[in-house]
């Protein structure tokens, strides 16, 4: 059985459009931690998670 590589830890400062986009892209290949001061956005991310709608209309949840 092949051993899985441990995931690296990534910290992203900022929970706006770019921070959450980069966080979603790294999901699954890294342990991602988002830091920010936009309290409403942080509450929404904790409550609802993040849904990304891709250009082809496909959605992914993180």
In angstroms, the first-to-last Cα distance of the chain is 28
Nearest Cα neighbor of 24 from 37, 4, 16 is 16
8 DSSP β-pair partners: 30
Nearest Cα neighbor of 35 from 48, 50, 45 is 45
Query: How does pLDDT run along the chain (62 residues), one tens digit per residue?
Result: 566 776 899 999 999 999 999 999 999 899 999 999 999 999 999 999 999 999 999 999 99
On the CB side of 16, CA atoms within 13 Å amount to 3
């Amino acid at each position: 059985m092949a051993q899985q590589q441990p995931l690296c830890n990534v910290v992203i400062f900022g929970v706006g459009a770019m921070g959450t986009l980069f966080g979603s892209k790294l999901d699954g290949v890294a342990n991602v931690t988002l830091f920010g001061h936009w309290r409403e956005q942080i509450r929404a991310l904790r409550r609802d998670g993040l849904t990304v709608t891709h250009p082809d209309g496909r959605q992914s949840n993180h």
